[in-house]
Amino acid sequence: MGNKETSWEPKIIAFLCNWCSYAGADLAGVGRMQYPANVRVIRVPCSGRISPFFILSSLQNGADGVLVSGCHPGDCHYLTGNYSARRKFALLKSQLEHIGIEKERVQFTWVSASEGGKFAEVINRVTETVKALGPAKRLVKKCL
Partner 1 sequence: MSSTRITGAVLVVGGGIGGIQSSLDLAESGFKVYLVEKSPAIGGTMPQLDKTFPTNDCSMCILSPKLVECGRHLNIEILTNAELKGISGKPGNFKAVIEQKPRYVAMDKCTGCGDCAEKCPVKLPDLFNKGLSQRKAIFRLFEQAYPPTFAIEKEACLECGICARHCAAEAIDFEMEPNTLEINIGSIILSPGFEEFDAGLIANYGYGIFKNVITSIEFERILSASGPYQGQLLRPSDMKPPQRIAWIQCVGSRDIHKVNNNYCSAVCCTYAIKEAVVAKEHSSTDLNTTIFYIDIRTYGKGFENYYERAKEEHGVRFVKSEIHRIYRDENENLILRFSENNKIKEEEFDLVVLSVGVTQSEANQELAKTLGIQLNQHGFCRVEDFSPVSTSRAGIFTAGVFSEPKDIPETVMAASAAAGEASGILAAARHTLARDKEYPQEKNIIGEKPRIGIFICHCGINIGSVVDISAVKDYAATLQNVVFVEDSLFTCSQDSQQKIKERIEEHNLNRVVVAACTPRTHEPLFQETLRETGLNKYLFEMANIRDQCSWVHQGQPEKATEKAKDLIRMSVAKAKLIEPLFQTNLEVNHSALVVGGGISGMVSALTVARQGFKVHVIEKSSRFGGIANNIYSTIEGFDVQVYLKELIDEVSNNPLIHLYTEAEILDVSGYVGNFKTRLVIGAGKEEKEITHGVVVIASGGDIYKPNEYLYGNNPNVFSLIELEGEIAKKNNLISTSRNIVLIQCIGSRDDERSYCSRTCCSKAVKLSLELKKLNPDVNIYVLYRDIRTYGFKEQYYLEAREKGVLFIPYDVSDKPEVEAISKEGKDFIKVTVNDLILNESFSIDADILALATAIIPSPDSKKLAGLFKVPLDENGFFMEAHIKLRPVDFPTEGVFVCGLAHSPKLITESIIQAKAAASRACIILSRDKIESGATVSTINKDKCSGCGMCMELCPFIAIEIDGEDNTATVNEALCKGCGVCASSCRCGAVDIMGFTNNEIYSMIKNGAFGVLE
Partner 2 sequence: MTDVSNKIREEAGKLLEKGEVDVIIGFEKGSIPLSATPCFIRNEADIEKLIWNEYCGNNLSLYLSKARGKIGIIAKGCDTRAIVELIKEKQVQRERIVIIGVPCEGMLDRKRIMIRCQSRNITGIEDQGRQLLITGDSLNVAVEKDEFFYPACQVCANRNPVMCDVFIGNTIEEQKTDEFTDVTDFNEKPSEERWAYITDEIDRCIRCYACRNACPLCYCKECFVDATQPQWVGKTIEQSDTLSFHIMRSIHLAGRCIECGACERACPVMVDIRKLNRKMSADVKNMFGYKTGLDIDQPAPLSVFKPDDSEEFILDI
Which does residue 95 touch among partner 1, partner 2, none (CB within 5 to 8 A, set by kind)? partner 2
Binding flag, residue 143, partner 1 (CB under 8 A): no
Cα atoms found within 13 Å of the Cα of residue 20, Cβ hemisphere only: 23
b/e code 47-63 from CB counts within 10 Å (16+ = b): bbbbeeeebbebbeeeb
Residue type, 108: F
Mark the segment that binds partner 2 (CB under 8 A) among 1-9, 17-25, 30-38, 54-62.
Answer: 54-62
Partners of residue 67 on adjacent β-strands: 14, 107
Partners of residue 45 on adjacent β-strands: none
Binding flag, residue 95, partner 1 (CB under 8 A): no
Q: Min. distance of Cβ 124 from partner 1 in angstroms?
A: 11
Choice between 9 and 80, CB closer to partner 2: 80
DSSP 13: E
Q: How far apart are CA 68 and CA 41, in angstroms?
A: 10
Binding flag, residue 22, partner 1 (CB under 8 A): yes
Mark the segment that binds partner 2 (CB under 8 A) among 11-19, 29-37, 39-47, 87-95.
Answer: 87-95
Binding flag, residue 61, partner 1 (CB under 8 A): yes
Q: Min. distance of Cβ 96 from partner 2 in angstroms?
A: 7
Q: Is 127 buried (19+), middle (13-18) or exposed (0-12) by CB count in 10 A?
A: buried
Binding flag, residue 57, partner 2 (CB under 8 A): yes
